[in-house]
Structure 1
Amino acid sequence: MRSFKRIALLCSVSVLFAPVALAENWQVAKDEEGIKVSLSEVPGSKYKAYRGVTVIKAPLAKVQALQEDVAGACAWIHECKLQKLLKHEGDQSWTYTQFNTPWPVTPRDSVLRVTTVKGADGSLTRNLVEEPAYVPEEKGFVRVVMVDGFWKLVPKGDSTEVTYQVHTEPGGSVPAMIANKFVVEAPFNTLKALRARAEKN
């Protein structure tokens, strides 16, 4: 019985982390201004996962504070129109975000459950999971179907290494050209804007 429970638990964990775990064949798509963006195919999805990495010359606590300012973070998140905190409970929070999209794509909105995990090495991981049914859909927006990803902040002396990795199923119809552009621009522009704010005195 114990073995059965262990197998069931392993299966559930595997399903939970499958999209990110399967996105392992990373290819560098952009490496400019100290920001490296890589993309990976995800089995069963026509949308690529993206991963952006940079080093910010600011302490981890400052980068964390910018991320936890949910409404203020909209200023540096790529194509963010509006963002608000829905609920905070322990190490979890739920956020609602509206995104601008280029014509002819209908604007998207998203509800994320963010779980914060502190590492023994002083690192901080913020796991991102879409919960599309958490609040009713808004008129004029298409709800993002799935988000699976994370932010990872690792202290490097007085600096912080930041990794931003996400796989998204945006819902509805998105032309391939726009989707392919987004998966490069989203991590690059988001990390660039976050870095600029964090490095301000």
Structure 2
Amino acid sequence: MKFTALIYILLLSLQVPGVNADETAWRLEKDSDGIRIETRPVEGSAYREIRATTSIAGRVSSIVELLQDMSYWPKLNKIISSAELHQQLSESESQLYFQMDMPWPVTDRDVLYHRTIRQDESDHSVTLTDRALTGILPEKNGKVRVVESVQQWTLSPNNRGGVDVTWITHTDPNGPLPAKMVNWLSVGPPHESISVLRTAIEAGEFSDAEPSYVVEP
């Protein structure tokens, strides 16, 4: 359990779309319960990029609203001790602050994200991108600031009345976490997070969500 917890830092992570554009490099790690987890190497990084995909019987608006609900993040990601809105910049742009409790003797982490939400007018897919910010919040004693971090969610309505979800993530946790161990443990936690998300939406949570910046097909 202690070692498994280390991987959750990957879920608040560095992912720069297009850094490794070779689609053939993806390797299937797990295909279970309708959720696929794939990984691929990233040039110049010791840590693998992770892609989690599934289909959810629900609405794009509901998934967006869940991901926007900071109180829900500790349920999605067990190592997140708190998540809060730092600043709302516009309806679809914000700054989010996350704190992560790491198992001893690993030092706790925190990160300040800049989140943007964009919808494609043609296919109504929504992309949420979180990129780490630096130089805004002073670093806190007892925490290592994650300074190179991005995660990206793509929510695409499908022809079955649901949503195809893709979550791509890659991290440099900014500290002495052995890459070999982190990579070895990079399958289970993303699978669990996607499963929690899907279960919540299909159970009807956020079913009445109507964010003004999302148009349903």
Could you say whether these structures have the same fold, taking a TM-score greater than 0.5 normalized by the shorter chain as the test?
Answer: yes
* Residue pairs, 1:1-201, within 5 angstroms: 19-23=16-20, 24=22, 25-90=25-90, 91-120=92-121, 121-156=123-158, 157-201=160-204
Q: Tell me how far 1:57 sits from its aligned partner.
A: 1.4
Tell me which of the two structures has the higher relative contact order, counting C-alpha pairs closer than 8 angstroms and 6 or more residues apart.
2
User: Partner of 1:15 in structure 2?
Assistant: none
What's the Cα RMSD here? 2.0
Tell me how far 1:44 sits from its aligned partner. 0.9
How far residue 165 of structure 1 moved from its aligned partner, in angstroms, is 0.5
Structure 1 distance, partners of 2:96, 2:64, is 16
CA distance in structure 2 between the aligned counterparts of 1:191 and 1:133, rounded to whole angstroms: 32
How far apart, in 2, do the equivalents of 1:145 and 1:106 lie?
15
Contact 1:92/1:116 (8 A) holds in 2: yes
Provide runs of 4+ in structure 1 moved above 6 Å: none
Counterpart contact for 1:71–1:85, Cα < 8 Å: no
In structure 2, do the counterparts of structure 1 residues 189 and 35 end up closer, same or farther at CA, with 3 Å as the change threshold?
same
CA apart distance, 1:76: 1.5
Q: Which amino acid aligns with 1:196?
A: T
Q: Which blocks of at least 5 consecutive residues in structure 1 are unaligned?
A: 1-17
**In structure 2, how many angstroms separate the alpha carbons of the residues matched to 1:197 and 1:67?**
11
